[in-house]
Structure 1
Amino acid sequence: MDRLDVMRAYCRVVERMSITKAADDMGLSPALVSKHIKLLENGLGCVLLARTTRSMSLTEHGRHYYDECRRLLGEIDALDNAMREEIAAPKGRLRVNAPLSYSLVVLAPLLPRFMEAFPDIELVLDLDDRVLNVVEEGYDISIRVRAELPDSSLVVRPLGEIRQHVCASPDYIARRGEPAVPADLAEHNIVGYGLADAAASWTFDGPGGTETFSPRPRLTVGNSLFLRDMLRHGAGIGSLPSFIASPCFADGSLRPVLEDYRLPDRRIFAVTPTRRGIDARTRVFLDFLRQNLAG
């Protein structure tokens, strides 16, 4: 028996005024309960229960120790219950890290519905295009848009996929011409995304198989929305995810190039520190993302 169990046993003995009855209530042998009460008294250096062969009574020390045990055990039980309720009910603060561009374009329209559905969750969303350490930074969830994630002790849940497009403005193509194959990109201004997981190499799947181009960007930026705007203004050719590129294709400010060649899709991942003991607020947010981002 650990110290809390001994304290509970002692309180039960006091309440029943019988070691035998208390032991029966707890499913223990009277000898074991009696032994631990004696060890408790020895450890405290005082007599808690005055016992004879026919009766039992509390000493002054015993009464004080019983009152304090009941208070402490009550606080511990209350804490345990509160934690169980917190884990079972979706409420409290949820810290989420996500890429800036993805959050502005994709998450921002979705999150008001989540907030309305779960009013007891306080959502703290930190926006950063860098891949941060989930554990060290204290995040409950990190959303990442990458081709792949390295193996780690973190728990990774795929949420969906995103097409990656090579594109440029119509004005740039009119001035500089359109590349027909990936090798032609060497004759063009490349605007690169410095935080890409494969910034130094673009691997295309084309009609003749796999082709690789190693860009030497004239300009490298750390934000996809800024990259979009540079391409719109005719700075060169670059690669954008579909959630940014598609609206530009629709309004004519950008156009796809190398349409017969495809870059690897990016995947949306939700990363959590652990699978064990996942609380309700994390679970419902992951379910919400899975339902709204799949496909």
Structure 2
Amino acid sequence: MDSGYVGRQILAPLSDAMVASPAHIAARGSPSTLQDLVSHDCVISARPSGHATWRFAGPNGEKEVQVTGRFSGNTARALRKATVAGLGIALLAPAMAKLDVQAGVLVPVLPQYRRTGHGMSVLYPSRRHLPLAVSAFIGLVIQKMNAADAPEVHRSVRRR
């Protein structure tokens, strides 16, 4: 990569929260192990197979489990709405699940296990001629993520 490029991490990697509605837990019970997720309905990102492999970091290292569900969606908002409606257990970004957990609309499931997300970075050729639209986008993302109580934004770093 050209050393003149500037990379800026605008959102640190987050750990997705496993959550479900109280109605789902009342109807199906709360899983006590990751393997119990196999017999639960899960709310998953859309996949042609209808299955998803969830990988977690937990007290005994990394684990994975293949889950299925009666609902799959292609947006985080759709997954959240399905989870709130009681369709199953989902992995949601902390900023998306936090208010629902505080309100009692969702409850944590197996909180000792977390799936690390990806974060968000931007890469641009130079600070000198940064287009106003790019600068505005970066500012908007930082503002929205800070409003959702996301982790602090990291400073700019030079990439080599």
Q: TM-score range by the shorter chain?
A: 0.7 to 0.9
What is the distance in 2 between the residues matched to 1:226 and 1:287?
25
Structure 2 unaligned spans of 5+: 146-150, 153-160
**Count of aligned pairs:** 138
- Confirm or deny: 8 A CA contact 1:207 1:261 kept in the other structure: yes
In the TM superposition, 1:111-126 aligns within 5 A as none
C-alpha distance in structure 2 between counterparts of 1:155 and 1:213, whole Å: 38
Closer, same or farther in 2 for the Cα pair 1:264/1:291, shift >3 Å?
closer
Q: Could you tell me how far apart the structure 1 residues matched to 2:139 and 2:103 are?
A: 30
CA shift digits 1:158-178 (9 cap, x unpaired)? 212333111100111011111
CA deviations 1:236-263 (Å, max 9, x no partner) are 1111111210110011110110111111
After TM superposition, where is structure 1 displaced by more than 4 Å over at least 4 residues in a row? none
Match for residue 279 of structure 1?
130
2:88 alignment partner, one of 236, 253, 266: 236
Structure 1 residue runs of 5 or longer lacking an equivalent are 1-150
Answer yes or no: is 1:214 the counterpart of 2:63: no
Q: Secondary structure at the match of 1:243?
A: helix
Mapped to 2, the partners of 1:287 and 1:232 lie a distance apart of 31
Displacement of 1:279:
2.7
Asked whether 1:158 is paired with 2:9, we answer yes
Q: Kindly tell me: are residues 242 and 228 of structure 1, through their superposed partners in 2, closer, same or farther at Cα, counting changes over 3 Å?
A: same
Amino acid at match of 2:55: T
TM superposition score normalised by structure 1: 0.42
Give the counterpart letter for 1:281 in structure 2: L
Q: Residue 68 of structure 2: SS of its match in structure 1?
A: coil
Higher strand share: 2
Deviation by residue 1:60-100 (Cα, 9 ceiling, x = unmatched): xxxxxxxxxxxxxxxxxxxxxxxxxxxxxxxxxxxxxxxxx
The amino acid of 1:171's aligned partner reads: A
Bigger radius of gyration among the two: 1
* Residue identity opposite 1:268 in structure 2: M
Residues 268 and 187 (structure 1 numbering): CA distance in 2 closer, same or farther, change over 3 Å?
Answer: same
Q: Structure 1 residue 282: deviation in Å?
A: 4.3
- Report deviation, 1:291: 5.3
* 1:200 matched to 2:52: yes
- Structure that is richer in helix per residue: 1
Q: Is the 8 A contact 1:190 1:219 kept in 2?
A: yes
Using the size of structure 2 for normalisation, the TM-score is 0.73
Correspondence for 2:101: 249
Superposed displacement of residue 286, structure 1: 5.7
Distance 1:220 1:211 in 2: 22
State how far apart, in whole Å, the 2-side matches of 1:204 and 1:220 are. Answer: 20
Computed over aligned residues only, the root mean square deviation of the Cα atoms, in angstroms, reads 2.7
Alignment of 1:89-238 (within 5 A): 157-161=8-12, 162-194=14-46, 200-238=52-90
